[in-house]
Homo-oligomer: A and B are copies of this chain.
Amino acid sequence: MMEEENNIEEDDAASPPVRTLHRQRVSLQKNSVCSRSYFMVVMVFFHVYIINVIALLLYVHYNNGSTPSTPNLDFSRRDSSHKVSEASDAQTPADSGFARDMYLPRIEGIRVGHVQKVSLVPGKVHEMKTLSLKPLLFEIPNFLSGEECSVVVRLAQLKGLMESQVMVPEGQEELNQQLNLSPEEIFNFLDLNQDGQLQPHEILTHSRVRDGIWLTSENLKEIYDGLKVDQDGNGLLSLEEFRHLRSDAFQHFLMQRGVERSQLVRNSRHTWLYQGQGAHQVLQDLRKRITSLTRLPSSLVELSEPLQVVRYEQGGHYHAHHDSGPVYPETACTHTRLTANTTSPFQTSCRYITVLFYLNNVEEGGETTFPVADNRTYEEASLIQNDVDLLDTRKHCDKGNLRVKPTKGTAVFWYNYLSDGRGWVGEQDEYSLHGGCVVTRGTKWVANNWINVDPDYQRQAHYQQLVSQQQEIQEQEEIISELNSERHTETHQDL
């Protein structure tokens, strides 16, 4: 074949490069500088060839390197014949705000009692058991070794613990003033069954906690007597009786009478431990293990709150609550608030996942209760009945649907939010309601890791972008200062 090509004539229909070469050959022969010029041609080809091979290899490498990020997108969007969009945003055929680099995989619960093996630490296999589907809740025994538990407790003790106290929701007083509600309007709002009377549980459902004080129906009776507000003594408040009360009358009365620790929402002490570079290796390892466990992007885990270590003394408790509130379009997340450039009066901590570690074995009590786990329905009003108050972890922990016994080294974790069906955070999962049952004997040590994610994808992406820019600037500054110090050292050595 090569022989044949060698016989091509000038008027042949060969490809242009071949023809050019042919001509070159002819002209070079004539110039009788053939050897040098031919060498040039060969070298040029050789270099072009090498450059092309390198370029293609780079292209292949680049192509392979970029694909692994694609599967991180929403799985359901891969099938182009089947576009899925939320019902809430009515018209999103093009889905313009949907260019996502991050996908939040959710672990499948399969069914209650399902056990899956996970490898989080080299050379060790953990068993992860599904405890409930609503909320999506898992238990992993021996997540921490005994030694690791002790280290965390010691570090917390070294740092020192402060009284845990749920704060007055910021701006609530102003909010009340902003909303400018009349006593009649508040009365109607509280009167769930619209019978013109406020039953104790109707008051507790909506005005349970203020200044960290937890109202019970017993408290209410006491208050009614003390303030002489329930004049007919039937245990119910009429609109007329309600009118005589100032908005914070109940808590105000209790504050003046004196409040015991057991009457607070939360009766414990806690501290925060930083888990980033420079922190104790156990704390850093813990964070890495959580990234493996939750399968979330490490950037999300690293930008989340520090580890919270909590100590409950005998008699300590934490009444049932949600770790993170519902999110409406106007709600800001604490962690992205500064970068979101909004001034919303509504704010929540946007804790997508809670990971709770038990750091010791409690002698008696101290279970974590999920009173409505896997309930068929969630009705706020039915949680507080006059006889059974499912939110009260001092009295009715045994009435809830699910209780986890604290076992040293065990981790439990759950999702405080549902999926949005498109690979991101959706609505709050109301069923994630939980509390710490009263410790009846001994002390209870636990730690919490929360993974903060803004349900507004754009806000989270913007936040992470700003943080990484900030980090780059810092790194550059560090390099410059290092260079400066090096030059300084060099200069120093020169002297």
Contacts and interface: CB of A to CB of B under 8 A. Distances in A.
Interface of A: 2, 5-6, 17-18, 21-22, 25, 28-29, 34-36, 38-46, 48-49, 52-53, 56-57, 59-60, 63-64, 67-68, 70-71, 75-76, 78-79, 81-87, 105, 107-108, 110-111, 114-120, 127, 133-134, 292-293, 295, 374-376, 401, 418-421, 426-427, 429
Contacts of A28: 35
16 contacts: A2-B43, A6-B43, A28-B35, A52-B52, A56-B57, A59-B60, A68-B78, A70-B71, A71-B75, A71-B78, A83-B117, A86-B117, A87-B116, A110-B420, A114-B421, A374-B376
B41 A42 contact: yes
The 8 closest A-B pairs by CB, nearest first: A87-B115, A38-B38, A56-B56, A49-B49, A374-B376, A71-B71, A85-B117, A45-B45
A86 B116 contact: yes
A42 B43 contact: no
A40 B21 CA distance: 11
B76 A110 contact: no
B35 A29 contact: yes
B56 A108 contact: no
A127 B87 contact: yes
A57 B53 CA distance: 10
A82 B427 CA distance: 27
A371 to B, nearest CB: 12
Given A5-B43, A49-B52, 15 more contacts: A2-B43, A6-B43, A17-B46, A25-B35, A41-B42, A42-B45, A45-B49, A48-B49, A52-B52, A75-B105, A76-B105, A83-B117, A87-B127, A111-B418, A375-B376
Contact of A117 (B42, B67, B84): B84
Contacts of A42: 21, 38, 41-42, 45
A195 to B, nearest CB: 28
Contact of A421 (B78, B87, B116): B116
Contacts of A105: 75-76
A60 B71 contact: no
Nearest to A134: B133
A120 B45 contact: no
A36 to B, nearest CB: 7
A117 B83 CA distance: 8
A320 to B, nearest CB: 18
A397 to B, nearest CB: 18
Nearest to A72: B78
Nearest to A37: B38
Contact of A6 (B17, B36, B60, B116): B36
B60 A110 contact: no
A33 to B, nearest CB: 11
B75 A117 contact: no
Contacts of A429: 111
A391 to B, nearest CB: 19
Nearest to A129: B87
B64 A38 contact: no
A40 B6 contact: yes
A477 B120 CA distance: 55
A110 B71 contact: no
B117 A427 contact: no
